[in-house]
Each structure stands twice: as structure tokens, then as C-alpha cells.
């Protein structure tokens, strides 16, 4: 039987980096500029009910500011959704999506839990509404992919030993599994704590590397789901990729591309 490994990101890279920032305060301007300068991509979880209010991004800025990144939902009014009647929960999610979709021109498929609070009931509601992933505030300090995307745990908040973890991420070869570093936070925290230098140093350290795939949250989820959707023959000598995305796998000591919609013979 053919030896196959599932630890390869696009174009054979063994590592990926994704960033996730909440609330959409005005400090996102500076954070996006830092990301763009270093070739890093992020997901920005916005509360549409706060746009155009003091201290927050303006609606008319959203499309241009976050171009090349992902806009996702954080609930219309940043409420603890566990405590609300189900119909209000649905309104908070769907109205936020509708408002944000009208600004960016694509479906809003991601979410992050306001205050980090969630339960199984809320997870089920998100799934029923077509939300494909949601980030928690729980962290692992590790570099692996947990495909339970509606309870997605990041590697760290940016205040949790960020540079130490970045060095580990760069130095680790990740031979056995996907190597994903996932950082979350709020841009206002850099202003409040006067530590913009932290994210500047981090982005210089991990940005612009040939061995790292820089992706949004939804790009990570889509890629992993496409790999999970591969269809193999019983003896694993032939694989079919039914998804709309090219994916890569390890076959013995080689990296093999499985194009979208194609069958590939592996042996």
C-alpha cells in the first residue's frame, strides 16, 4: 500500500501562518499596514453594529482596508450569544453577515465568539446558518491543525510568548504534521499597552519566508477540508480531488499535487 502523508500546504510548504483580530477598531489601520508590509494575511472579525461609531472603522473603509485579507463576523453588537433567545442569536449572526457582505461583496463564512463564550447549542446554530468556522479564545501553544473548525483554538494570543513561539515555529521542521501558527488578538491592545513594536518584530521575523504559506482563516479551513475530501482507491494508488482547490500530499519522500477535479495515479 502506498505510503501517504497529509502534512503539506499549497506548493509543498510545510508551514502556514494565519492571524485573527477582533472588533474592528480604528487601530486596524496600523495593523493591516504592518501585515501588508510583511506579506502576512489575516482575518478581521467585525461587529457591523459598531461600524461608523467613535473609535471604530467606517463602513466605507471596510472593502479597501481589508482587501487581500478576510472579513468575518463577530456578531452585530458583540453580545454574549449564550444568554440570548435563539431568534435573537440568529438575528445577531445573520444581520451581521448581511451588513458585512454588502460591504465586501463576498459571503461571510467565518465567525469568532464574542468574549470567547460559546456552548454546543451555539455551535449548532452557527453550523445551521452556514458558518464554517469560529475561533475561540482558547490557545494551544502548539502548531497543529484541529479540524473542529467551529471550536477553533489558536496557537496563542499575541501577549502569550509571541516571539518565543515564533522562533519555535521557524525552527521546527514539522515533518509529521501540518505546521500552523495561528495568532489572535485585538489591535487596540497594541495601542493600550504601547507595544506596537511586538507585532512589528513578529511580522519581520515570520513574514516574507518561502517556506510559509500566508493565509486567512477561511483559506486554511478550505484547504484542510479539501484534503479531507480526497477520494482514494482501496489500495491508495489512485486519488480523485472533487474539490475546487488544488491540494498537495506527501507520497513516500515526494510532494505530489492533486489538481482540482482530477484523478492522479500515485503508483
CA distance 164 to 172: 12
Please state which of the ranges 2-6, 8-12, 174-178 shows the lowest mean pLDDT.
174-178
Are 172 and 181 within 8 A, CB to CB?
A: no
CB 100 within 8 A of CB 71: yes
- What does the block give as the cell for 206? 515570520
Q: What is the pLDDT of residue 93?
A: 99
Alpha-carbon distance values, 22 to 1, 46, 114, 208, 211 (Å):
46, 6, 9, 24, 27
Q: pLDDT confidence of 175, banded at 50, 70, 90? A: low
pTM exceeds 0.85, yes or no: yes
The H or E element spanning position 187 is helix 187-192
Domains of the chain as residue ranges with CATH: 14-225 (3.20.20.370)
- The model's confidence at residue 174, banded by pLDDT at 50, 70 and 90, is low
Please tell me whether residue 149 adopts helix, strand or coil conformation.
helix
Amino acid at each position: 500500500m502506498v505510503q501517504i502523508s497529509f502534512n503539506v500546504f499549497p506548493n509543498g510548504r510545510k508551514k502556514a501562518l494565519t492571524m485573527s483580530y477582533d472588533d474592528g477598531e480604528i487601530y486596524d489601520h496600523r495593523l493591516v499596514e504592518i501585515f501588508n508590509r510583511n506579506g502576512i494575511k489575516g482575518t478581521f472579525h467585525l461587529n457591523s453594529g459598531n461600524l461608523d461609531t467613535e473609535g471604530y472603522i467606517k463602513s466605507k473603509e471596510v472593502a479597501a482596508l481589508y482587501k487581500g485579507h478576510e472579513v468575518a463576523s463577530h456578531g452585530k453588537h458583540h453580545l454574549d450569544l449564550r444568554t440570548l433567545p435563539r431568534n435573537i442569536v440568529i438575528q445577531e449572526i445573520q444581520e451581521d453577515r448581511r451588513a458585512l457582505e454588502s460591504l465586501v461583496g463576498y459571503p461571510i463564512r467565518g465567525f469568532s465568539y464574542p468574549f470567547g463564550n460559546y456552548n454546543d447549542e451555539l455551535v449548532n446554530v452557527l453550523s445551521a446558518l452556514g458558518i464554517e468556522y469560529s475561533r475561540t479564545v482558547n490557545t494551544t501553544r502548539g502548531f497543529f491543525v484541529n479540524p473542529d473548525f467551529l471550536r477553533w483554538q489558536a496557537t496563542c494570543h499575541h501577549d502569550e510568548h509571541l516571539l518565543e513561539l515564533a522562533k519555535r515555529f521557524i525552527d521546527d521542521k514539522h515533518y509529521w504534521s501540518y505546521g500552523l501558527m495561528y495568532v489572535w488578538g485585538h489591535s487596540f491592545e497594541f495601542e493600550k499597552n504601547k507595544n506596537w513594536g511586538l507585532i512589528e518584530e513578529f511580522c519581520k521575523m515570520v513574514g516574507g519566508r518561502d517556506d510559509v504559506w500566508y493565509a486567512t482563516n477561511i483559506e486554511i479551513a478550505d484547504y484542510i477540508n479539501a484534503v479531507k475530501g480526497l477520494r482514494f482507491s482501496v489500495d491508495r494508488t489512485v486519488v480523485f480531488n472533487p474539490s475546487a482547490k488544488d491540494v498537495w500530499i506527501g507520497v513516500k519522500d515526494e510532494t505530489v499535487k492533486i489538481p482540482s477535479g482530477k484523478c492522479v495515479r500515485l503508483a
